[in-house]
Chain A
Amino acid sequence: MAKAVLEVRNLVATFRIDKKEYPVLRDISFTVHENETVCMVGESGCGKSVTTLTIMDLLPSNGRVVSGSIKLNGQELTTLTRKERNALRGKRMGMIFQEPMTALNPLLTIGRQLTEGLRLHQGMTKKQAYDTAVEYLEKVGIANPQDRMKQYPFQLSGGLRQRIMIAMVMAVQPSLLIADEPTTALDVTIQKQVLVLLNKLKKDVSTGVLFITHDLGVVAEIADRVVILYAGCKVEEGAIGEIFSNPQHPYTIGLMKAVPDVEAEEFDIQPIPGVFPNITEEIGGCRFHPRCPYATDRCRSELPQEIEISPGHTVSCHLVKEAQE
């Protein structure tokens, strides 16, 4: 088994709204290994973005980590001081955001922004940083990298900007790359280009990738392992083949049925009934039971424990557990 880059154990985070604390992450655990892409999937509000922000220590001021541990290459992050974590950010873990325009500084040239991280984290000279930056621009498939170095973000298209973000993050060779919906704002043809590129670079730099998305098609294409979140809870985790061929949790099954797939011949749209819960809503028992077609009394009262149904495939559902017993 490859080395674990990121280990998250029993993470609980809360947001304070109107002087009350509401949990947004409830006991989340997962691991990202070297050279592995873990996709985190869920609807908006399920806590997937909050997870990444917690790992990066970028939570808004009303959010805090209550308990749990986050280990990067074996080093505990939650006990570090602000300054120490700051030093890790960008160097050991990099992040790519959804909207490449807002992530780049509009007042600085591409070259200036690309070399900044290299000089800061790798201690390179200006010349070295410039050469490395050009090398990485070439790696992400940008023609005329020397010219691009002089340009400003507004002169580039969305796909190019996202490539530059990727080059910027990968040039520092972080051990963990967090990508928060990096292709959602892009057109399908550009999305494909970016996905192909991410896969290639992951192997080159041997990084662990935590990929956040809501698009199951993208998951099928890029993931090695999948973590499915619902309303702050992890409901299912498993290898990509397992999840797609043998989904266990009713929510996972519902999600798969709700996606209109271009491959499917006949498609009978089967939505998951009901509304996604607000974080201020208190739901007893399994968080999914109000929308679950199979919910029993036990689901309404008792929070299901995580069980392993096959190596690496875990589910949190009473029904699956009962069926196993």
Chain B
Amino acid sequence: MSGKQPLLELKKLKKYFPVRRGVSIKAVEDVTFTIYEGEKFGVVGESGCGKSTLGRVILQLYQQTSGAAIYYGRTLEEIGPQYLSHEISKLMEYQTKANEFYQKSLKLDAKAEAIRKEKDALSPLGTTNREVLKEIRLSKKISDLEFQSLELRKDASRHLREGSRTVGSLILCKDLPKVKELFEQSARETAMATVANRALKTLEHQSEQLAVEGKQDASLEKKIEAARARVQKHVDAARQYRQKAWDDYHGKDILPLTERTLDPEYQKKLDGNYETGINLGKLTRSEMRGLRRDMQMIFQDPAASLDPRQTVGKSIEEILVINEDLSAEVRKERVMNLLDEVGLKREHYYVYPHTLSGGQKQRVGIARAIALNPKFVVLDECVSALDVSVQAQILQLLNELSKEKDLTYFFITHDLGVVKHFCDRIVVMYLGNVCEIAESKDLFHNPMHPYTQSLLAVVPRMRVGEHSTEFVLEGDVPSAIHPPKGCPFHTRCSRCMEICSQEKPKPIENEPGHFVACHLYSKQES
């Protein structure tokens, strides 16, 4: 696993849909995992488990409620996102605010302590009514103060956490202004690199056009060389500034901002927050649109995802019209090639979607998704509406395309048979929560979470006369508006313990690469 490059990292991703005041559907809850480049990553679960929502949140079709989706497919220098300089400008604020909150909470603690002393000074058993009343009043005051102080501390660490996304544990540094300066310079270089990159892209595009027409231009080649060097210069400079900040200030002169800041473990944690990729949730609309060419989606219902009034050719070509600046002939040629690639005939360019079968429509959907050479494709139940013989054809096509084009798939499905044979790694979700993440062989050989076990047990098998009723689950999936307290699965779990209804289990790496969120296994750990 270590040899693989991460492409997308989800950190505590949450998505709530508001229903009415104070009530929301908790569709995705604290989902954390990493998808590696070139991987076919499967998501399985019953309807309503949040798998589709998760796919859409990753693509930023829905705005996440909290958490982050970090994309590593492009460097910061290529996109030059606006949020970068904005975050850097707020660094000082994060640090001072965190300290302020912490100091305030200390004051409240002191106050609470004073009151506690006053309370202790009262006679141990209140003899008169007045004394009893006073004691109750003081206790209430203490708990109020303690609560406020706790909230302030939470605020303080939240500010530090926000800051650490941009500079890691350097946010604790005494010399933050200098760090900030270096990062500002780095951001400036990043922005310049982005501009240079754009210029380079235009030049490259011109040369491509010329190549298609069969011409060559030596001066253009030179210009491209120069532009490439310019980009590289800025990219290097941006990296150097960041590196300098890191080398000079990391782990030195740490301020005692809160009680935890001197703890090396905490510093490590902050370093872990440091984002080297692109935080998709913070991009502006137009920046995200630019990234869309990298991240595409294929939908379940191929009929509904095509415009019935446009020919197949026009439907595919539309994408190129919007995103690329090509001449009409080149564009048509590209579409024809795409039709070849997805196993359609060139005649299909001129036909309307209603004349195609379900499998052929899905092929058009695939052609549209890969038209811009994406890196990451979300496949939302893309074979569920197809008959088995056609389903197998489409799976085969997707498999070939992923190899040819280095695609990374996020494959959403409810069909365990399909996911077993198609995906490299699988996450099992239940009510918006991750139950289990494992390589697909591991998951099917050694399912650990009771939910995974019962899912596997009830899948219809191609064997006659071997159907147990052992793991059949009782009842329905609970409502996502009022999910059960503790482990979301405890209401239907046959191995439910007392702790399950109290505390939510955290995903634990039980075996290398095999994560389970279940108290049955966390107990063994401790």
Residue numbers of A with Cβ under 8 A of B are 43-44, 157, 159-160, 187-193, 196, 214-218, 220-221, 240-241, 244-245, 254-264, 267, 269-273, 275-276
Contact = CB atoms under 8 A, between A and B. Distances in A.
B461 A221 contact: yes
Given A189-B458, A215-B460, A241-B464, A272 B399 contact: no
Give the dominant DSSP class at B's interface: helix
A264 B462 CA distance: 9
Interface in B325-357: 357
A193 B459 contact: no
B251 interface: no
A295 to B, nearest CB: 16
Contacts, number: 129
Interface in B410-433: 414-418, 420-422
14 contacts: A43-B389, A189-B454, A191-B460, A192-B473, A217-B459, A244-B463, A245-B464, A260-B420, A261-B461, A262-B444, A262-B456, A267-B420, A271-B392, A275-B390
A218 B388 CA distance: 13
A19 B374 CA distance: 48
A11 to B, nearest CB: 23
B472 interface: yes
Interface size, B (range): 35 or more
Contacts of B417: 217, 259-262
B460 A258 contact: no
B421 A267 contact: yes
A190 to B, nearest CB: 7
Given A188-B46, A190-B476, A275-B360, A220 B463 contact: yes
A261 B462 contact: yes
A240 B473 CA distance: 26
Contacts of B461: 217, 220-221, 261-263
Given A189-B458, A217-B461, 6 more contacts: A157-B476, A193-B472, A220-B461, A241-B464, A257-B392, A276-B357
Nearest to B471: A192
Contact of B460 (A217, A257, A269): A217
B311 interface: no
Nearest to B420: A262
Contacts of B388: 43, 214, 216, 255, 258-259
Contact of B462 (A192, A259, A272): A259
Given A188-B455, A254-B389, A275-B359, A220 B460 contact: yes
B401 interface: no
A275 B357 CA distance: 8
A188 B414 contact: yes
Contacts of B360: 275
B469 interface: yes
B387 A276 contact: yes
Contact of A271 (B47, B396, B469): B396
Contact of B464 (A240, A258, A269, A273): A240
A82 B445 CA distance: 56
B392 A272 contact: yes
B46 A189 contact: yes
A260 B421 contact: yes
